């Protein structure tokens, strides 16, 4: 027989998920269904969630424990209006009256106000907030896009700066005197070196990741390289290495910005909790 009957209190039975009903017993719990409304002007958020909170009905003069849920709050409850005849009732010394449910309700609301928090992701640099349903992998691409927008002006500045350096080297080496016998070969070699250097710089600046993967590797020099060609390659190599170092620093700054996040917590006020109903819930448990 039921160890407790309450007038004016709705009563439900939780559907048993396991077939061995004979090994289960009904234990009474308090069920409170409510809607939580999380609001934050800073995060621009107005988010509502429906929750089912359950706690075991206390025996004798013990207090109800809303930190020990009778059923998980993140699962849908399959409620029945009648008991399963194959499941017996767990007996206990239950002295609860219908009027006690208002006290249980007030205690739950106080507990939610003190402890319940909606946690979302937040980037303090760009003031970005995730949506409540977003996980970290959904949020970080938004931060990465904002970080790229922050460093792109500097990326364009660096590209123009090193293109100017390249032109200055071109002009400096164009003014050097050469013998007529060396002129044709030297011009060809010089143009080839500049073309190669321009191509490598363009690859480095094509994407921000060029700071890591676009560094020019020194090429093997033959014994027949003239003094002029050797000096030119040294100047071009220096410019490419400086460009690579500057891009690497910019890329490191980008990675720091793109991966920075904090946890932002939003609490509840009494007006943010709306109780839909409360009831006595019989939960089948294994003995």
Q: Is the pLDDT of residue 267 over 70?
A: yes
CB atoms inside a 10 Å sphere around CB 162: 21
pLDDT tens per residue, range 49-65: 999 999 999 998 899 99
Mean pLDDT of the chain: 83
Asked if 204 contacts 243 with a C-beta cutoff of 8 angstroms, the reply is yes
Asked if 155 contacts 205 with a C-beta cutoff of 8 angstroms, the reply is yes
pLDDT tens per residue, range 162-213: 778 777 777 776 655 555 555 555 565 666 666 776 767 777 766 655 444 4
Q: Return the domain boundaries, the chain.
A: 10-117+267-286, 148-258
Kind of pairing between the strands at 262-266 and 24-40: unpaired
Angle between the N-to-C axes of helices 227-258 and 180-206, in degrees from 0 to 180, rounded to the nearest 10: 10
Sequence-distant (6+) residues with CB within 8 A of 157 are none
pLDDT tens per residue, range 139-162: 999 998 888 888 888 888 888 887
Among candidate residues 201, 199, 196, the one with its CA nearest the CA of residue 219? 196
Rounded-to-integer distance, Cα 81 and Cα 10, Å: 10
Which has more pLDDT, 123 or 191? Answer: 123
């Amino acid at each position: 027989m039921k160890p407790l009957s309450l007038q004016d209190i709705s009563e439900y039975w939780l559907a048993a998920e396991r077939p061995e009903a004979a090994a289960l017993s009904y234990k009474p719990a308090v069920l409170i269904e409510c809607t939580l409304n999380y609001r934050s002007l800073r995060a621009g958020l107005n988010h509502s969630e429906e929750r089912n909170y359950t706690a075991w009905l206390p025996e004798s003069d013990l207090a109800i424990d809303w930190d020990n849920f009778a059923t998980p709050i993140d699962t849908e409850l399959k409620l029945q209006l009648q008991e399963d005849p194959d499941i017996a009732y767990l007996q206990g010394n239950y002295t609860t009256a219908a009027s006690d449910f208002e006290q249980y309700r007030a205690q739950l609301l106080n507990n939610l106000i003190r402890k319940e928090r909606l946690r979302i992701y937040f980037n303090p640099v760009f003031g970005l907030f995730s949506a409540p349903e977003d996980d970290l992998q959904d949020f970080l691409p938004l931060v990465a896009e904002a970080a790229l927008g922050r460093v792109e002006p500097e990326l364009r500045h660096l590209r123009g700066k090193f293109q100017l350096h390249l032109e200055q080297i071109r002009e400096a080496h164009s003014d050097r005197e050469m013998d007529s016998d060396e002129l044709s070969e030297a011009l060809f070699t010089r143009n080839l070196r500049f073309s190669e250097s321009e191509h490598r710089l363009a690859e480095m600046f094509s994407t921000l990741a060029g700071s890591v993967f676009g560094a020019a590797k020194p090429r093997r020099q033959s014994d027949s390289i003239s003094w002029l060609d050797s000096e030119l390659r040294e100047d071009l190599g220096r410019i490419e290495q400086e460009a690579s170092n500057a891009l690497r620093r910019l890329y490191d700054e980008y990675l720091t910005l793109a991966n920075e996040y904090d946890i932002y917590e939003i609490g509840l006020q009494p007006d943010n909790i709306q109780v839909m109903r409360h009831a006595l819930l019989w939960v089948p448990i294994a003995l």
